[in-house]
Amino acid sequence: MINIAIDGPAGAGKSTIARKVAEKLSFIYVDTGAMYRAMALYLHRKGIAADDTEAIARVCKEPRISIEYRDGEQVVLLDGENVNSFLRTQEVSDMASKSSAVPEVRKRLVELQQKLAAEQSVVMDGRDIGTVVLPDAQVKIYLTASVRVRAKRRFLELKEKGENPVLEKIEEEIAERDHRDMTREVAPLRQADDAVLVDSSDMTINEVTSHILNIIRDRTGSGRRPVPGL
Ligand code: DC
């Protein structure tokens, strides 16, 4: 089994890049953020307050969360229901950000992630994949971009959706979220000692993808073709 870990802050392009890299290698792409979001959806539906840590620690043991692949896309199942289309709302994002700091939530989801990676070759993205979930991953990437660039990307995304975003406000929110992710007590966002830093600020999606594929090629065997699809 070959495991590739991609960590980094929100908005660095992790999921886009990880999905492309997985496709090139014919590996499974595992989006761990979507698992935290599915748990958050369950808690939200139960009417739990995002700061009620005790209730979150208790209730998070209830739902069955699993993932499946349909047409190559990850589908997150919450007690058997496909919840993909409910995971990107503001309420779920807020709840995920708070509930993912609760150790009981992490314990359950990390176990699931480790099981997936033991069964098949994966490209897994998140915040703690290289440091906690897959410390023995053959390749670890820490993908980042400047706050300004990430804010601009988000700004354009929102504009395209017909919204009327304010760049400075987005920049502030991203900086705040970085701070929260990096300073939280449990599994803070941090570059693993053996991770390769990739700064995508001045790179296109295709450039980042081929750069990462090159790193994987270098790390998993020199000169040979050790990974299918490379
Ligand atoms: O990557 P994302 O925005 O979909 O992640 C949703 C939330 O889950 C976000 O607040 C960070 C958290 N998360 C985490 O704590 N650990 C991970 N491995 C992945 C996501």
Token pair of 3 as six digits: 């495991």
The answer to whether 96 and 33 are in contact (CB under 8 A) is yes
* Residue 225 confidence (pLDDT) above 80: no
Nearest CA-CA partner of 83 in 32, 125, 48, 39: 39
Distance in angstroms (rounded) separating the CA atoms of residues 87 and 81: 12
Q: How confident is the model at residue 12, as a pLDDT?
A: 92
Give the span between the Cα atoms of 214 and 160, in whole angstroms. 32
Ligand 1 atom with the smallest distance to the CA of 97 is 10
* Residue pair 4/21 in contact by the 8 Å Cβ criterion: yes
Residue 86 binned pLDDT confidence (cut-offs 50, 70, 90): very high
Which pLDDT score is estimated for 226? Answer: 52
The proportion of the chain whose per-residue pLDDT surpasses 70, expressed as a percent, equals 96
Q: Best of 76, 127, 133, 184 to mutate for ligand 1, by most ligand atoms within 8 A of CB?
A: 127
pLDDT digits (tens, 9 = 90+) for 45-78: 999 999 999 999 999 999 999 999 988 889 999 9
Predicted confidence band of residue 90 (pLDDT cuts 50, 70, 90) = confident
Residue with tokens 């190559």: 72
Domain definitions of the chain by residue range: 3-214
Homologous superfamily, domain 3-214:
P-loop containing nucleotide triphosphate hydrolases (3.40.50.300)
Give the pLDDT score at 223. Answer: 40
Q: In whole numbers, what is the pLDDT of the chain averaged over residues?
A: 93
Q: Is the pLDDT of residue 200 over 90?
A: yes
Pocket of ligand 1 (CB under 6 A): 10, 32-33, 36-37, 96-97, 100, 126-128
Cα radius of gyration rounded to whole Å, the chain: 17
107 alpha carbon – ligand 1 mean position (Å): 14
pLDDT at 230: 55
In this structure, how many other beta carbons lie within 10 angstroms of the beta carbon of residue 70?
9
Give, as one character, the DSSP assignment of residue 100. T
Q: What residues pair up with 5 in beta bridges, in sequence order? A: 124, 140
Coil, strand or helix: which one is 34?
helix
Instruction: Give the model's pLDDT for residue 222.
Output: 41
Q: What is the pLDDT of residues 139-183, one digit of tens each?
A: 999 999 999 999 999 999 899 989 999 999 999 999 988 998 899
129 CA: nearest ligand 1 atom: 18
pLDDT digits (tens, 9 = 90+) for 13-48: 999 999 999 999 999 999 999 999 999 999 999 999
pLDDT value at 8 more than 90: yes
